[in-house]
Amino acid sequence: MAEVKVIGASLSLFCTRIEWALKLKGVEYEYIEEDLKNKSHILVNSNPVHKKVPVLLHRDKPICESLLILEYIDEVWKDNPLLPQHPYQKAIARFWAEFADEKCVMGAWGACQAEGEEKEKAVESAAESFAYLEKQLEGNKYFGGEEIGYLDLALGWIPHWLNVMEQVADMKLLDADKFPLLHEWAQRFIQLPLIKECLPPREDLVNYFAASLTYMRSLKANHQ
């Protein structure tokens, strides 16, 4: 039995960041694909509070919440540190990772769903959040400095997932003119072989987001 297991869903941006971290650390793991429409006992028992993926099982002990899993991985396997060593830099990295999950992931998905007049406002509001990230890249190749780190992994959904959201919802959030550093970073990050090999096929993501969007809009239409 594998010492390290990941319970995940292959299209989830929150799960892919865990696989990236384990691969960066050179940790072998068994991947268990979860059917989110029919949740397994192992998921429900491992994460009884939220019943969400990803869950990391290390010697059968479950760790939940993707950003906390990244911290755990970094503390257990010391090679290739993910978080900065200095407490202040560490606090800053944690701050932006939480900010991005709360404001950028949710902002981008909100903009996807918005229609008509609301759409422009939602795209603008999400862009304001992305502008904070752009500033963090000034003078840096990666969010982690010269090498990728915790914050790069936390933001690693941007080049692939955001790009698909933009296509499906016919909008432009990550404008190269407006966010040149973020745009360059995204190109650089996604070309790294270790990052590339974990990405779900673009077509699957397009189908997934298109279906989710249709579903959300039908819900909204029935409640207006």
Stretch that binds a copy of itself, among 8-16, 60-68, 107-115, 201-209 (CB under 8 A): 60-68
Residues 108-167 that bind a copy of itself (CB under 8 A): 132
Tokens of 89: 């830099």
How many angstroms separate the CA atoms of 218 and 208, rounded? 16
The correct pick among 14, 20, 72, 143 for binding a copy of itself (CB under 8 A) is 72
Contact range with a copy of itself by CB under 8 A, out of 57-65, 107-115, 188-196, 198-206: 57-65
Nearer to a copy of itself, 47 or 163 (CB): 47
- Three-point CA angle 181, 126, 158, nearest 5°: 50
> How is 29-75 classified by DSSP, letter by letter?
-EEEE--TTS--HHHHHHSTTT--S-EEEETTEEEESHHHHHHHHHH
Q: Does 87 bind a copy of itself (CB under 8 A)?
A: yes
Q: Is residue 88 involved in binding a copy of itself (CB under 8 A)?
A: yes
Beta strands in the chain (DSSP E): 4-8, 30-33, 55-58, 61-64
**Where do contacts with a copy of itself occur on this chain (CB under 8 A)?**
49, 58, 61, 63-65, 68-69, 71-72, 75-76, 87-88, 90-91, 94-95, 98-99, 132
